[in-house]
Amino acid sequence: MALRWLDDITADDVDSVGGKAASLGELAGAGLPVPPAFVVTADTYRSFVQDTGIEAALSETVDVDTEDSQALAAAAEHAQELILETAVPDSVRDELLAAFDDLDHDVVAVRSSATAEDLPDASFAGQQETFLNVGRADLLDRVRECWASLFTQRAIYYRQEQGFSHDAVDIAVVVQAMVDADESGVLFTSHPSTGAERAIVEAAWGLGEAVVSGAVSPDNYVVDRESGRVEEVTVAEKKVMHVRDGDDTVERAVPDDKREQRVLGTETLDQLVEMGERVEDHYGTPQDVEWAIADDTLYLLQSRPITTIDEDGAADGIDAGVADGGAMTGQQDGVLVSGLGASPGQVAGSVRLVSKLDQLDKVEPGDIIVTEMTTPDMVPAMERAAGIVTDQGGMTSHAAIVSRELGVPAVVGTDAGTDRLQDGQDVTIDGDKGIVEPGATAAADEPEPSSAADGTDAGPAPKPMTGTEIKVNVSIPAAAERAAATGADGVGLLRIEHMILSTSKTPERYVEDHGERAYVDEIVDGVRTVAEAFYPRPVRVRTLDAPTDEFRQLDGGENEPAEHNPMLGYRGIRRSLDRPETFRLELDAIARLYDLGYDNVEIMLPLVNDAEDVLQARQLLESAGIDPDKRTWGVMVETPASALGIEQLCETGIDFASFGTNDLTQYTLAVDRNNEAVAGRFDELHPAVLELIGQTIETCREHDVATSICGQAGSKPEMVRYLVNEGVTSISANVDAVRDVQQEVKRVEQRLLLESVRES
């Protein structure tokens, strides 16, 4: 038999039908409302490649150096051609078509179900294909395309990286009756962070792909399972919906009268929660359930365990907070040093003074690094450390940015930390207050989660649904998993310079010593780590933007120009255009990531002044094989010139404009953000800065260009309120601020909605 019907499948059949199909079969067997389906088994795929004689050729084809992008691309193309151009045996063909007829549906969904999709140490989910609205005539082609998706560049590369034999991963294919959904969404049967018995439901109009892909902001409902009471309802503005159009799935505008209409009534919510409880009871663990409603009938489309619940009641990678407002007890009187609280949290540990890179080895897990200023070379040690203290630097210094992303408390700009603190001294640092005090206190060692008013463990609030996208800033690949755990809608800023500076060599010296291929590999490896953690959520990669004073500290830095004020000098797009050969290597890395299947990578050009900058960069994109009309790319608005000339920038074909408020503020107010003598005059909320931002948003909206912010100010409530009122498309915040920004945006959007209702 080439196939098995869903009713005959249980969780024990994962080796034969893959994880997705096994789960569906288990649910169907439990009497839950799963649409009818059959599964083309993994054995059928294996028999296909063996009986047709292509197995040996497949194995030989994919035995390549996956770091060789050209060889990998050729291998993927040839392997897929072998499958797509080989005829399915007549016996299999007849059986599949007969089963399609027995389903008695005009169209079906054809979904890959790999046999190694959800292993403890590797996840292959999302690497294989899914096709919707498939008719009888296209069924066999779509099944073969699912088989062929085992051999995309990304899948081949990932298996090799994980040490999996290509022969060890088979693939089954689920053929399921399509549900032409009127409403659809996702249900968390328990709180996805704490495990509390609160069901979280997301709902939108049309097919569920719009919710899962992030194309629409859905309604959000919170239901107390014990009482059945609906505790919270957030009605989003649902601008688009995915619907069936013949044999295609298309995106359509939601009718005006339904955009702000609540999708689910109380009765339907009760029905959904009841179904979710049955699924959770069946598996014995909280579930993440995809559902759909068609003609008032509820269907369960997929279910998987919620993996973000921490045993201590906090989501992975999300700080639970400190009890009693972070008060510390039992310390000696006095503050040893003070500075800026750059990364929140309290922690105790032993001081490790670091004045040279060869001293980093003495930093053990739980130590406090005390140094004049951190550099990219120190990141591995910073990952081990419990806290960071620096003499120099501000809120946008390397130490501040990296510490926030790693979740490590930090105090920067202390002036005298390396003088007043002694090697081996026990201290407690407070990254909120910006102080370092003597002694290691118990309260700082084990912060307790904050509690709700009723005495229960509240944990982090669930991610609120907002019309404004909330993204996260990332500087180092090591922080990718923690950043992804925030539930952000993507990465609004991935700084490429930290990957390059961590090599301890200028780009030119690195290429001279190791070759162009190695330089490209450095960038590919770093960006891929973040793109994989967030896939399919977008990751916006900013091309090189490091001032010359940072390059001068590196091997090869003696060739860098000496500048009186590097912040106003040879950096950003002006450096890239002046050194096109080096810039080309950055673009080659991004092009290779596209070849590997990371179509969620976006390109952002820093420090542009005018359209001429952008047009020159566009030509270089095209020369690197990147089609600006097919890929998402844009610019940073960091100078008054770019803000005032935004209309001309929009006309170059950009997809987005992103505010870099750190630079925009310093250039507008003539305040060097690294100059402590004028630091008090640095104000991102200055009326002149806000006027430039507001004008830019308005012009971009007229040209259908998205707007975002990725500067430090994006984490400030006052700036968030201003941006949402002005209609910004997305806000990218620091890792530690994502949840607060999500909540603030939700409040502002609800107020705007209420005001519009009152005015109508």
Residues with a catalytic annotation lie at 398, 710
Q: Is the dihedral of CA 595, 600, 605, 606 positive or negative?
A: negative
- 3-state class (DSSP) for residue 129: coil
Partners of residue 451 on adjacent β-strands: 457
How many angstroms separate the CA atoms of 407 and 474, rounded? 12
Task: Give the helix/strand (H/E) hosting 722.
Answer: helix 717-726
Q: From CA 71, how far away is CA 396, in angstroms rounded?
A: 41
Task: Characterize the bridge pairing of strands 37-40 and 3-5.
Answer: antiparallel
Intra-chain end-to-end CA distance of the chain, in Å: 63
Instruction: Return the H-helix or E-strand segment holding 98.
Output: helix 90-103
Beta-strand relationship, 387-390 and 410-412:
parallel
Pairing of strands 730-733, 469-474: parallel
The closest alpha carbon to 169, from 134, 127, 133, belongs to 127
Residue 689 CA to residue 698 CA, distance in Å, equals 15
DSSP summary character for residue 205: E
Distance, CA of 162 to CA of 10 (rounded, Å): 28
Shortest CA distance to 309 belongs to which of 276, 285, 277? 285
> Are 735 and 479 contacting, i.e. CB atoms less than 8 angstroms apart?
yes
CA distances from 571 to 508, 543, 567, 582, 607 (A): 15, 11, 8, 13, 8
Q: What is the Cα Rg of the chain in Å? A: 27
HEC sequence for 531-543? HHHHCCCCEEEEC
For residue 425, what are its two tokens?
A: 């001294």
Distance between CA atoms of residues 164 and 505, nearest Å? 34
Q: How far apart are CA 663 and CA 396, in angstroms?
A: 11
Q: Which amino acid is at 108?
A: V
Phi/psi-derived region of residue 348, left when phi > 0, alpha when psi is between -120 and 50, beta in every other case: beta
